[in-house]
């Protein structure tokens, strides 16, 4: 070969060598680029179970993942015992290698070649993580090489502790259980950080062959593998001899445990609110939740005999506003009884459960004082004629007793006095979002169950009342610890709240008499019940300085049942729950800055006049100072025969003077039945002025026997009419009744607007002196008006 040809050959050879180097360098850079981005941003995108835990991380319940695997979201840490076990069993050099163990791969290759079959994979934990990430592809040498490359990349991205956390969160444990957290609950019924050495070793050997062995399958093989691992732990000094011996004696689980199901309705609520697949930490206390579930289930067994299948309970902390127990329904009642319905969020008729709110606002506004008389006689409010539950009437009853006994008629009178529109606005300000319609839509029945509320908001209102009294500020109810806190004031004064709770103390407890408070062991609980029309809803709410407990019992489909009342169905559950709660504070401190000590007429509950002979001291909310002085005790004059006289018929020197309780004639009929010491007003001496008091009273309209034609409006509603009366005494107070039911009280201008039904009626008017006038009338429908 000539020198020129040799030079050309060498030149081409050099060029090719340079080209190969460039090509190799290019391939190397391509590999580096690929290697840098060979891992997905998230190693796993599998669906996860929705996990609900209490304030201490204890499992309340879980919902299986979309692929029907029990796969909890990734663990935040790996317990020491399990970490030790899994490393000693799977990868003893885990902290020394960079994803690939050359010794392990070489040993596996030698074993496979000498045996003629694949008997070992030589995979590190990191390489196993790659296989899990790639959904366990076929085992080939090329696949093994690919796993090695990805394993080294994982080691560069994550720390050893992060790799271990990811692995144990996605490792298969047999059956349909994935991840350590799910496995510890499914196989041992408790969290992984509470597992023993033997239990941790049992779980550590499962990912190696999850389809071959797991609790309930190949029991002996599983025990042998566990014991070999325990022996290894003893050998390297992780366990003492006594611990080792005790661990060998521990029994293996026979089958998976059912997961806790303490708050299924809260779990479903969280899923519906977009928290699916997350670990949801709540403020629930699992011990309180368990006790409440147990008590509700016990009572539900008795209630089912009466065809009552559903119930709900909430327990909240007054101090923190945290929800300690959330039971949305009776779990054991079966799907055929709508047990899946979350009755805490369901809107239900209030019954009498909001009467304390009206009582408190009436104290604050000066409409009433705590023990001031309210009328309790048959009454009519337009076409609305409420009845007391027992069907009896007191005539007059102290306001606090009307609340504690939950009498309907006095409370409707109170709502009329306080103002329907004002109270309707108060309820909305307090936080009842379900009261959306106008005040006129509900009418005076608002106080007797005409509106609907849900338990969560009801519990919040009573919790806010207790917070306002204890801390002078309120907070929302906190189901979750991450909720943002804010403080506000409840729209009711502390003094009015205190007086309301004091009245609620006197409610008669179920199956007890009113002497319960004489026993030192009895705790003070302000409580109230409610029963909706048709016996569809039974409510009970109890308040202490530490807790608020709300109970609802009924049927989710709205079916009413006899005996479904707050006292009989809900209150027993309420008091059983309070028996399980610790007593931290005996009772609320008296808010003396918002209370005033006053003299009170012992009988009427009003501020006394000089005619009130029996007086006592009482603490009133400041607003109650606006109430009137006692109108019932008046000074009268008597002759020696006990007849009433005045200067027109008797010498003042011959008169005796007495302070007498005078009530309206319509009230007296009922009042004297319950007060044997009550003395009716003596009659006037015949020829005295005022003896013929009935002549001073006259009904101007309608005339006796008159037919009144009332048109029916376009909306089908009967139009109203105006009845008129006159009295010779300009200061007279008149009491109007229609068909024996009290309608209205008038003074100065004696007119009432009324909408009587079609048919015959008797109108009766009384004055305070006992005068009475009655007329019969007939209401006839005229033709419909076209507006």
pLDDT tens sequence across 666-699? 888 899 999 998 998 888 888 787 666 656 788 8
Lowest-confidence pick of 3-12, 44-53, 124-133: 3-12
Average pLDDT of the segment spanning 35-50:
83
Question: What percentage of the chain carries pLDDT values higher than 70?
Answer: 90
Asked if 303 contacts 324 with a C-beta cutoff of 8 angstroms, the reply is no
Q: What is the pLDDT of residue 334?
A: 58
Residue 785 has pLDDT above 60, yes or no: no
Residue 744 pLDDT level (bands cut at 50, 70, 90): confident
The three-class DSSP label of residue 576 is helix
Residues facing 738 on adjacent strands: 741, 763
Maximum Cα–Cα distance across the chain: 169
Residues facing 614 on adjacent strands: none
Residue 336 has pLDDT above 80, yes or no: no
Residues facing 396 on adjacent strands: 375
The string of pLDDT tens digits covering residues 430-450 is 999 999 999 999 999 999 999
Q: Which has more pLDDT, 669 or 493?
A: 493
Residue 212 CB contacts under 8 Å (≥ 6 apart), including other chains:
218, 221
Lowest-confidence pick of 31-45, 82-96, 429-443, 623-637: 31-45
The string of pLDDT tens digits covering residues 554-573 is 999 999 999 899 999 999 99
Question: What percentage of the chain carries pLDDT values higher than 90?
Answer: 56
Q: What is the pLDDT of residue 1?
A: 58
Residue 762 has pLDDT above 70, yes or no: yes
Residue 753 pLDDT level (bands cut at 50, 70, 90): confident
Average pLDDT of the segment spanning 66-83:
92
Average pLDDT of every residue of the chain: 87
Average pLDDT of the segment spanning 96-110:
73
Q: What is the pLDDT of residue 517?
A: 43
Residue 106 pLDDT level (bands cut at 50, 70, 90): low
Name the most confidently modeled range: 302-311, 356-365, 521-530, 693-702.
356-365
The string of pLDDT tens digits covering residues 339-359 is 889 999 999 999 999 999 999
Structure tokens at 347: 């809107």
Q: What is the pLDDT of residue 119?
A: 47
Residue 786 has pLDDT above 60, yes or no: no
Residue 783 pLDDT level (bands cut at 50, 70, 90): low
Q: What is the pLDDT of residue 455?
A: 97
Enclosing H/E stretch for 235 = helix 219-235
Q: What is the pLDDT of residue 111?
A: 62
Preceding omega of 702 cis (within 30 degrees of 0): yes
The stretches of 49-179 forming alpha helices (DSSP H) are 80-90, 102-115, 125-133, 141-157, 160-170
Q: Which has more pLDDT, 58 or 146?
A: 58
Residue 52 has pLDDT above 70, yes or no: yes
Q: What is the pLDDT of residue 14?
A: 79
The string of pLDDT tens digits covering residues 365-397 is 999 999 999 999 998 888 888 999 888 999 999
Average pLDDT of the segment spanning 238-262:
91
Query: How many residues are given for the chain?
Result: 787
Residue 60 pLDDT level (bands cut at 50, 70, 90): very high
Residues facing 710 on adjacent strands: 781
Q: What is the pLDDT of residue 13?
A: 76
Residue 289 has pLDDT above 90, yes or no: yes
How would DSSP label each residue in 741-781? EEEEEEESS-EEEE-PPSEEEEEEEEETTS-EEEEEEEEEE
Residue 167 has pLDDT above 90, yes or no: yes
Q: Which has more pLDDT, 354 or 643?
A: 354
- The answer to whether the Cα torsion of 469, 470, 472, 474 is positive or negative is negative
The string of pLDDT tens digits covering residues 602-639 is 999 999 999 999 999 999 999 999 999 999 999 989 98
Residue 428 pLDDT level (bands cut at 50, 70, 90): very high
Average pLDDT of the segment spanning 645-669:
86
Q: What is the pLDDT of residue 335?
A: 64
Residues 368, 752, 412, CA angle at the centre, nearest 5°? 35
Q: How far is CA 329 from each of CA 302, 346, 349, 455, 543, rounded to the nearest angstrom? A: 15, 11, 17, 12, 22
Q: What is the pLDDT of residue 519?
A: 37
Residue 105 has pLDDT above 80, yes or no: no
E strand intervals along 555-590? none
Residue 156 has pLDDT above 50, yes or no: yes
């Amino acid at each position: 070969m000539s020198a020129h040809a040799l030079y050309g050959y060498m030149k081409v050879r050099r060029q090719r060598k340079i080209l190969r180097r460039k090509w190799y360098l290019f391939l190397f850079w391509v590999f580096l680029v690929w290697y840098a981005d060979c891992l997905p941003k998230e190693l796993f995108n599998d669906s996860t179970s929705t996990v609900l835990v209490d304030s201490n991380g204890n499992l309340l319940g879980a919902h299986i993942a979309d692929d029907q695997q029990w796969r909890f979201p990734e663990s935040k840490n790996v317990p020491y015992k399990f970490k030790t076990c899994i490393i000693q069993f799977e990868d003893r050099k885990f902290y020394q290698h960079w994803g690939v163990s050359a010794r392990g791969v070489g040993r596996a290759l030698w074993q496979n070649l000498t045996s003629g079959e694949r008997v070992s994979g030589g995979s590190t934990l990191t390489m196993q993580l790659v296989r899990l990430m790639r959904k366990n592809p076929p085992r080939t040498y090329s696949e093994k090489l690919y796993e090695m490359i990805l394993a080294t990349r994982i080691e560069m991205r994550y720390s050893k502790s992060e790799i271990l956390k990811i692995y144990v969160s996605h490792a298969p444990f047999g059956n349909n259980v994935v991840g350590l957290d799910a496995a510890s609950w499914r196989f041992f019924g408790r969290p992984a950080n509470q597992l023993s050495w033997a239990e941790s070793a049992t779980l550590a050997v499962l990912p190696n062959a999850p389809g071959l062995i797991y609790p309930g399958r190949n029991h002996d093989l599983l025990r042998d593998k566990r014991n070999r691992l325990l022996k290894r732990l003893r050998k390297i000094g992780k366990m003492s001899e006594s611990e080792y011996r005790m661990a060998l004696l521990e029994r293996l689980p026979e089958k998976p445990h059912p997961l806790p199901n303490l708050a299924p309705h809260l779990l479903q609520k969280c899923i519906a609110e977009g928290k699916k697949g997350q670990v949801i930490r709540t403020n629930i206390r699992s011990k309180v939740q368990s006790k409440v579930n147990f008590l509700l289930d016990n009572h539900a067994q008795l209630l089912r005999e009466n065809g009552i299948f559903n119930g709900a309970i909430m327990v909240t902390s007054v101090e923190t506003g945290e929800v300690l127990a959330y039971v949305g329904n009776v779990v054991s009642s079966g799907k055929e009884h709508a047990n899946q319905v979350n009755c805490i969020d369901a809107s239900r008729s209030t019954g009498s459960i909001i009467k304390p709110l009206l009582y408190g606002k009436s104290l604050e506004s000066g409409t009433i004082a705590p023990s001031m008389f309210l009328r309790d006689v048959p009454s009519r409010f337009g076409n609305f004629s409420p009845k007391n539950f027992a069907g009896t009437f007191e005539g007059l009853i102290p306001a606090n007793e009307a609340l504690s006994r939950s009498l309907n008629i006095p409370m409707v009178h109170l709502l009329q006095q306080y103002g329907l529109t004002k109270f309707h606005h108060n309820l909305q300000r307090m936080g009842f979002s379900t009261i959306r319609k106008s005040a006129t839509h509900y009418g005076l029945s608002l106080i007797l169950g005409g509106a609907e509320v849900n338990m969560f908001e009801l519990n919040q209102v009573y919790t806010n009342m207790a917070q306002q009294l204890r801390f002078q500020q309120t907070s929302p109810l906190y189901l979750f610890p991450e909720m943002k806190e804010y403080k506000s004031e409840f729209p009711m004064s502390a003094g009015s709240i205190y007086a309301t709770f004091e009245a609620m103390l006197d409610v008669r407890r179920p199956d007890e008499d009113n002497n319960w408070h004489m026993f030192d062991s009895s705790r003070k609980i302000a409580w109230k019940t409610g029963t909706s029309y048709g016996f569809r809803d039974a409510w009970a709410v109890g308040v202490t300085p530490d807790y608020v407990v709300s109970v609802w019992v009924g049927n989710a489909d709205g079916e009413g049942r006899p005996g479904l009342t707050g006292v009989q169905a809900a209150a027993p559950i309420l008091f059983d729950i309070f028996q399980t709660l610790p007593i931290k504070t005996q009772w609320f401190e008296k808010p003396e800055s918002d209370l005033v000590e006053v003299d009170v007429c012992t009988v009427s509950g009003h501020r006394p006049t000089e005619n009130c002979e029996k007086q006592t001291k009482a603490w009133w909310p400041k607003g109650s100072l606006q109430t009137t002085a006692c109108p019932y005790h008046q000074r009268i004059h008597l002759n020696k025969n006990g007849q009433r006289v005045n200067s027109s018929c008797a010498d003042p020197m011959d008169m005796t003077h007495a302070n007498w309780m005078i009530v309206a004639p319509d009230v007296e009929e009922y009042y004297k039945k319950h007060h044997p010491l009550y003395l009716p007003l003596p009659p006037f001496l015949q020829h005295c002025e005022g003896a013929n008091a009935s002549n001073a009273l006259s009904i101007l309209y309608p005339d006796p026997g008159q037919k009144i034609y009332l048109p029916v409006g376009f909306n089908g509603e009967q139009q109203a009419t105006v009845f008129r009366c006159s009295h010779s005494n300009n200061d007279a107070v008149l009491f109007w009744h229609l068909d024996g039911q009290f309608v209205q009280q008038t003074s100065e201008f004696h007119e009432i607007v009324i909408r009587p039904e079609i048919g015959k009626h008797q109108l009766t008017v009384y004055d305070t002196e006992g005068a009475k006038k009655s007329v019969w009338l007939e209401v006839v429908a005229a033709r419909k008006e076209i507006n």
